[in-house]
Amino acid sequence: MKELVLTYVYVEGGIVVKKRLLLLASAMVMSLFLVACGGGDEEQAGTKEGLDITTSFSILGDIVGNVIGDRGTVEYIVPIGEEPHEYEPIPSDFQKVSDSDVFYINGLGLEEWLEKLVQNAGDIPVVTLSEGVTAIPLTNEDGDDPHIWLDVQNVILMVNNLVDDLVERDPDGEDTYRANAEAYIQELEELDAWIKAEMSTIAEDFRMIAISEDAFRYFGQAYGIDTAGIWEINSHEEGTPSQISGLVDKIQERNLPAVFVETTVDQRYMETVANNAGVEIAGEVYTDAVGQDGSGAETYIKMMEHNVNVFVNGLSQ
């Protein structure tokens, strides 16, 4: 309890009365009183912990969320179910980015809409998390394949880039960020080893992922499986008859038991391929977004586990 002496003056019947009042109050009541009197200015500024972060798409949102934990907030721009290559930002996206302390992106040309968004969102730092990754070049055009996250080791590299940037931006959070990252990297290493073991159970002849967008090249390189798409990258998707028949030929050459579709791509192209090749679509996989709530693929780790289970089941017939 604290003592507070109040002196107040009032007029009663034409006479000025001066009174002193002794208040006993708990610290909480005191602080409320001081704020009400305008005496509590000193707190507010500089007490916010952590950072308000926006990421370009949901997979990055989950990865960043694992590292910041409760220290700050994470949002993402491209909604689950939409693909990030050709997304069109809406007005609330500009607001989201301009309200952030930092905007984390994948880079490697994934976010084609980035320039438009950043130009309209003010002076927000944009940080590319793929810095230092060994990129696979696109074969049909200039530039690199952006789907680096489908190799778990690349995500570990991104987490390390992320921690460096977070510590620089919010030094008080260093211990939290480093501890969270260490625990997350441990989980990612386990995931990486599990994927290698699972994929190695598929017969050599059937080791090919045939799918709409050839997004699994980093995955294929890391986990020992060939890949083939109708088209190379979603931003240049066409699904022309020659692209369709090109993939049908590859499926028949290998005598593959199954093909796959993505959650973020129009599935009609792959249905045509499957019908023409006389194979089944074994299931949906996640490439450019995590799954909706209840899908079982709500996080990066869960979506990778889901994908591997679908590949192994589909190709082990």
The residues of the shown chain that bind Zn ion, judged by CB under 5 A, are: 215, 234, 288
**CA 24/CA 1 separation, integer angstroms:** 6
Beta carbon nearer to Zn ion, 104 or 218: 218
Beta carbon of residue 189, minimum distance to Zn ion (angstroms, whole number): 25
Beta carbon nearer to Zn ion, 170 or 288: 288
**CA 50/CA 161 separation, integer angstroms:** 17
Residue nearest Zn ion, Cβ-based: 288
Beta carbon of residue 85, minimum distance to Zn ion (angstroms, whole number): 6
**CA 62/CA 156 separation, integer angstroms:** 13
Beta carbon nearer to Zn ion, 130 or 176: 130
Beta carbon of residue 84, minimum distance to Zn ion (angstroms, whole number): 7
Beta carbon of residue 289, minimum distance to Zn ion (angstroms, whole number): 9
Strands 15-25 and 102-105: unpaired
Beta carbon nearer to Zn ion, 161 or 287: 287
What the block records as the tokens of 270 is 């792959």
- Integer CA distances (angstroms), 159 to 92, 124, 129, 310, in order: 27, 21, 8, 26
For the chain, list the strands marked E by DSSP.
2-12, 15-25, 51-57, 72-78, 102-105, 126-128, 208-213, 226-231, 258-262, 280-285
Beta carbon nearer to Zn ion, 108 or 215: 215
Q: Which residues are within 8 A (CB) of 73 and not within 5 positions of it... i.e. 6 or more apart?
A: 50, 51, 52, 53
Beta carbon nearer to Zn ion, 180 or 234: 234
* Half-sphere exposure for 79 (CA within 13 Å, toward CB): 6
Beta carbon nearer to Zn ion, 93 or 288: 288
**CA 314/CA 207 separation, integer angstroms:** 11
Beta carbon of residue 263, minimum distance to Zn ion (angstroms, whole number): 11
**CA 97/CA 79 separation, integer angstroms:** 14
Beta carbon nearer to Zn ion, 151 or 288: 288
Residue 235 CB neighbours (<10 A): 17
**Torsion 304-306-307-309 (CA) sign:** positive
Beta carbon of residue 120, minimum distance to Zn ion (angstroms, whole number): 24
- Integer CA distances (angstroms), 296 to 57, 185, 189, 289, in order: 18, 21, 20, 13
Beta carbon of residue 97, minimum distance to Zn ion (angstroms, whole number): 21
Beta carbon of residue 234, minimum distance to Zn ion (angstroms, whole number): 5
**Torsion 109-225-301-291 (CA) sign:** positive
